[in-house]
């Protein structure tokens, strides 16, 4: 870990991270109107992305092509509103562009486009970016560099065999600079993972593929901080963080409708969802209001 990241890890300000996540979630909910987006899968990984970009990844918003940057790959591409919301809040993307969501005049649609600064690679077809990230991590090792490579996958996505090929390759090549973050929200598109194609015991699966794994709470910044500061888990092995999350986290009426993966809401409904969100984030909203 470099000095900049060491500082990032030390100064864990949960209040600030929650405020940040609130703003990202607002972006997500607004993208769920006028054509909609995969809102549940996006809300489940907001906290993860906020933690990664604010505390862990060495990514300078003003130098997206810095050769020393860390890499972040969103393999579950349908969660792109969480990524765009995060990129906007760290200053890599202009949030005014969200007005163009799904418009052909811009490049912001249901899956990531690498024309957006900060998007390293297109995704959407599941099981692709872990293999791609393996290639990137392999090159970093070949060159003797120290960039970290983080790839976020879904849990349902792990049905795809290419992920397991990639784990075998990553373990064989000793890619301990590779960090696989599983957004373990327990849902596939339509079904609960364990009711359709059970993937438990997941930790053991990854371990047996040569990739030490740890389960953590993907909504608890302290927990994430503990785990991400222990990397690499084993020298010479790829790392897996299984982040247990709640699909639709932060918006109870969506959490309750976790069977629905895509929402397209009326303007009025969007405002209702924002109100729900604000209620959940009252702890960070009230002190701000008091400060005014």
Q: Which residues bind another protein (CB under 8 A)?
A: 114, 120-122, 125, 127-140, 142, 161-162, 165-166, 168-169, 172-173
Nearer residue to another protein within complex by CB, 112 or 156? 112
Q: How far is the CB of 166 from another protein (least distance, A)?
A: 5
Q: How far is the CB of 131 from another protein (least distance, A)?
A: 2
Question: How far apart are the C-alpha atoms of 178 and 194, rounded to whole Å?
Answer: 27
Find the largest Cα–Cα distance for the chain.
56
Nearer residue to another protein within complex by CB, 163 or 188? 163
Q: How far is the CB of 161 from another protein (least distance, A)?
A: 8
Nearer residue to another protein within complex by CB, 148 or 219? 148
Q: Are 162 and 172 in contact (CB under 8 A)?
A: no
Q: How far is the CB of 156 from another protein (least distance, A)?
A: 18
Q: How far is the CB of 132 from another protein (least distance, A)?
A: 4
Q: How far is the CB of 139 from another protein (least distance, A)?
A: 4
Nearer residue to another protein within complex by CB, 96 or 161? 161
Nearer residue to another protein within complex by CB, 88 or 167? 167
Q: Are 248 and 257 in contact (CB under 8 A)?
A: yes
DSSP string, 23-45: HHHHHHHHHTBTT-B-HHHHHHH
CB atoms within 10 A of CB 82: 32
Burial class for 101, CB neighbours closer than 10 Å (0-12, 13-18, 19+): buried
Q: Which residue has the tokens 């970016």?
A: 129
What is the per-residue burial (b if ≥16 Cβ within 10 Å, else e) of 230-250?
A: ebbbeeebbbbbbbbbbbbbb
Question: How far apart are the C-alpha atoms of 54 and 237, rounded to whole Å?
Answer: 25
Question: How far apart are the C-alpha atoms of 105 and 4, rounded to whole Å?
Answer: 38
Nearer residue to another protein within complex by CB, 138 or 181? 138
């Amino acid at each position: 870990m470099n000095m900049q990241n060491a500082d990032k890890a030390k100064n864990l300000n949960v209040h600030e991270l929650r405020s940040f996540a609130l703003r990202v979630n607002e972006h997500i909910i607004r993208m769920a109107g006028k054509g909609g987006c995969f809102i549940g899968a996006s809300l489940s990984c907001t906290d993860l992305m906020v933690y990664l970009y604010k505390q862990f990844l060495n990514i300078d918003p003003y130098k997206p092509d810095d050769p020393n940057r860390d890499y972040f790959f969103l393999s579950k591409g349908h969660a792109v509103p969480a990524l765009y919301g995060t990129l906007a809040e760290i200053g890599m993307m202009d949030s005014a562009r969200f007005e163009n969501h799904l418009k052909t005049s811009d490049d912001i649609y249901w899956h990531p486009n690498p024309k957006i600064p900060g998007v390293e690679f297109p995704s959407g077809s599941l099981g692709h970016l872990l293999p791609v990230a393996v290639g990137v991590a392999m090159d970093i090792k070949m060159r003797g560099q120290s960039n970290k490579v983080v790839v976020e996958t879904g849990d349902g996505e792990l049905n795809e065999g290419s992920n397991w090929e990639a784990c075998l390759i990553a373990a064989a090549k000793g890619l301990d600079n590779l960090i696989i973050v599983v957004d373990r929200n327990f849902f596939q598109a339509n079904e609960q993972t364990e009711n359709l194609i059970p993937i438990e015991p997941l930790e053991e699966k990854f371990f047996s593929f040569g990739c030490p794994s740890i389960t953590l709470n993907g909504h608890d910044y302290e927990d994430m901080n503990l785990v991400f500061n222990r990397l690499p888990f084993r020298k010479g092995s790829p790392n897996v963080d299984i982040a247990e999350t709640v699909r639709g986290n932060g918006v109870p009426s969506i959490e309750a409708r976790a069977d629905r993966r895509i929402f397209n809401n009326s303007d009025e409904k969007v405002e209702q969802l924002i109100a729900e969100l604000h209620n959940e984030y009252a702890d960070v909203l009230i002190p701000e209001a008091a400060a005014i």
